[in-house]
Structure 1
């Protein structure tokens, strides 16, 4: 089976994550994720993989044993099974030969992928591109990664002359809602020394830094009173929340920031004049910057408490995940060097980008498994305009194979 056939087969299984079931603690949150995991298990068996384990959470792991007597580190590759909840329709993938300009995805519905809106597509002129009919996501996030990893395993098993150490793979559920699969994953028993996720990004992009991420839940407690006698008595929790928001640093919100600029994201507010709960995300690339932001919110809450009175405001701060760069400092940065060489062998210029978001590798790294991120080649994730150049998908798989080659060449004992 070629890599394109693999990918399209995977897209036919609807693995849309379910936020409702996820919030209820159910994993996997959608039956399609288990269906895809079962298919992958059978394919791994056909490839002769060992130690194949499919858990009731849909976490699937397997091992390709070493084919050398060298003592080599164990490298792992990760992808996630679910697709984002932005669109829930079944995927109808199509392959187009792109000759430039716009791509009509669905003439009946007048859905067009316009070059003017997505100018980066021009670099793929003359290539085959996989798109949808405009009524769903493509699911390259993250089925392109699954196809790239599975194809790499196929190459290794079909070419035993390629020397390699132990290679492990893991496919995880519900990444699209809080990295739930990675949080449930048992890194210690998995037994890998370092790893890579494949998630996001056009050809050449590479992620080895992302957010230090935290949550803030701020509860405002007011005092109810009837409007006819409210003067001097009513304390409006809604207005407290608005005043708190107004005291956040201006311009430090997602819509005003880019690159490595951190922010406070006011995500949700619910309640009434008696009680209002505000939920926020806190993001910063540096440890000191993150610590400063969390301390600022604590100090702001303390100041509001002094102004409004005891018991009027309560703040709960918690950490969500760390920047993967924290796990790749100094000598621990060798996975970055291996990936850089693998890109070079394939004639690909590495473009390291700071990921303004979370991915499974951040959680895995925090658990002790250094895990930067390799491109899948896809564009426009979480959109009906998602597309995947075939050459980029193949390149992602080639990079996986060369990461394994280079590990065997340079790290054997």
Structure 2
């Protein structure tokens, strides 16, 4: 099966993550994630791969043993089964030959992928591009990754004369709501020396830095009183929360920052005069700066508690870490092999920090250093998501080349 047909086949299975089910601890949060996992398992079995496991949580692990007479590092490739919840409609993928200008996604609804808004389209004039009909996500995030990995395994199972070490493919559910599948993964069952997620965007993107991420929940307990006799009695928890927010550093919020600039994100405020809950996300690339941000919030709560007699309760939680904390430096094998693969294939690496998280952040902390390779798609989480066919093929070629390079060492 051609990689394009494989990808389009995956898009026909609606694997939208279900946030309500996820919040109730259900995994996978949507049943079609398991259906997709079963389809992938069947495809891998048809390739002759025998060491395959599929858990009740839709975590699929497949291993292709080494055909070398020497020991080389084992490598894993990761992708997620779910698609984001911004759109829940079934995907109706279509392939267009891009000749320039705008792309009509849906004539009836007058939905266009506009060159004026997505200037990178100019890079794909003359290419085939996979798009939606404008009513759903495409799901290249992350089904392009799944297609690339399965296509790579197909190559090595059909070309047994090509040398390779152990290759592990791992597919997890519910990445789109807090990296839940990666958190549930037993990394010892993967057991490789390092790995790669395929979960970033246009051709050439290569990511090995992401946020250190934390959550902060502050609960302010006031005291209720009727306004007719509130003087000296009413303690308004809403105003306590407002005071806390006002003491955060000016300009250190998502809307004011870029690149490697960290922030506090005041994300949610709910309550009344008696009790108010404030939720803040903390993000920072540098590990020490992240710790300082978390300590700042703790110190702020402690200081206000002295004024308000213990009416502030703060809970700080680490969500995920920067992958670079585990890669240590740019000479890490996972980085070197990927950069060499890009060079050998004539792909210019676009190295950038990810102002977000991905499964590799959790997987790296479990002992498998795991940078992030492009899928080739653009506009994740949008009805304007699109995937150039050449980029999809390139993503799979990178995985093949990495495996070949490891086998040569």
Normalising by the residue count of structure 2, what TM-score does the alignment of the two structures yield?
A: 0.99
> What residue is the counterpart of 1:350 in the other structure?
349
Alignment of 1:1-80 (within 5 A): 1-80=1-80
Contact 2:330 2:336 survives alignment (8 Å): no
Secondary structure, in 3 states, of the residue corresponding to 2:332? Answer: helix
Counterparts of 1:258 and 1:51, CA distance in 2: 44
Counterparts of 1:49 and 1:247, CA distance in 2: 58
Counterparts of 1:400 and 1:237, CA distance in 2: 54
- How big is the shift at 1:242? 1.4
1:201 equivalenced with 2:205 (yes/no): no
Contact 2:77 2:195 survives alignment (8 Å): yes
> What residue is the counterpart of 1:237 in the other structure?
237
Counterparts of 1:275 and 1:34, CA distance in 2: 41
Secondary structure, in 3 states, of the residue corresponding to 1:199? Answer: strand
Counterparts of 1:332 and 1:67, CA distance in 2: 27
5+ long unaligned stretches in structure 1:
none
Contact 1:90 1:136 survives alignment (8 Å): yes
Counterparts of 1:85 and 1:123, CA distance in 2: 29
Contact 2:7 2:143 survives alignment (8 Å): yes
Counterparts of 2:154 and 2:193, CA distance in 1: 22
1:114 equivalenced with 2:108 (yes/no): no
Secondary structure, in 3 states, of the residue corresponding to 1:154? Answer: helix
Query: For residues 53-104 of structure 1, what are the alpha-carbon distances to aligned partners after superposition, in whole Å with 9 as ceiling and x for unaligned?
Result: 0110000001011111111111000000000000000000000000111111
Counterparts of 2:189 and 2:131, CA distance in 1: 38
- How big is the shift at 1:270? 1.3
> What residue is the counterpart of 1:362 in the other structure?
361
- How big is the shift at 1:175? 0.2
Query: For residues 121-140 of structure 1, what are the alpha-carbon distances to aligned partners after superposition, in whole Å with 9 as ceiling and x for unaligned?
Result: 11111100000000000000
Contact 1:11 1:91 survives alignment (8 Å): yes
> What residue is the counterpart of 2:150 in the other structure?
150
> What residue is the counterpart of 1:251 in the other structure?
251
> What residue is the counterpart of 1:160 in the other structure?
160
> What residue is the counterpart of 1:327 in the other structure?
326
- How big is the shift at 1:311? 2.2
Deviation >6 Å, runs of 4+? none
Secondary structure, in 3 states, of the residue corresponding to 1:122? Answer: helix
Moved more, 57-66 or 153-162: 153-162
- How big is the shift at 1:187? 0.7
Contact 1:95 1:130 survives alignment (8 Å): yes
Q: CA RMSD in A?
A: 0.9
Contact 2:378 2:386 survives alignment (8 Å): yes
- How big is the shift at 1:332? 6.8
Counterparts of 1:398 and 1:159, CA distance in 2: 14
- How big is the shift at 1:44? 0.6
> What residue is the counterpart of 1:383 in the other structure?
382
Moved more, 268-277 or 83-92: 268-277
Counterparts of 1:16 and 1:71, CA distance in 2: 40
Contact 1:221 1:274 survives alignment (8 Å): yes
Counterparts of 2:215 and 2:190, CA distance in 1: 29
Query: For residues 255-286 of structure 1, what are the alpha-carbon distances to aligned partners after superposition, in whole Å with 9 as ceiling and x for unaligned?
Result: 11111010111111111110011111100000
- How big is the shift at 1:243? 1.6
> What residue is the counterpart of 2:404 in the other structure?
405
Contact 2:76 2:190 survives alignment (8 Å): no
> What residue is the counterpart of 1:340 in the other structure?
339
- How big is the shift at 1:215? 0.7
- How big is the shift at 1:189? 2.8
Secondary structure, in 3 states, of the residue corresponding to 2:153? Answer: helix
5+ long unaligned stretches in structure 2:
none
Counterparts of 2:165 and 2:245, CA distance in 1: 53
- How big is the shift at 1:330? 4.1
- How big is the shift at 1:50? 2.3
> What residue is the counterpart of 2:278 in the other structure?
278
Query: For residues 216-272 of structure 1, what are the alpha-carbon distances to aligned partners after superposition, in whole Å with 9 as ceiling and x for unaligned?
Result: 010000010001111221111111111211111111111111110101111111111
Contact 1:50 1:65 survives alignment (8 Å): no
Moved more, 10-19 or 332-341: 332-341
Secondary structure, in 3 states, of the residue corresponding to 2:78? Answer: strand
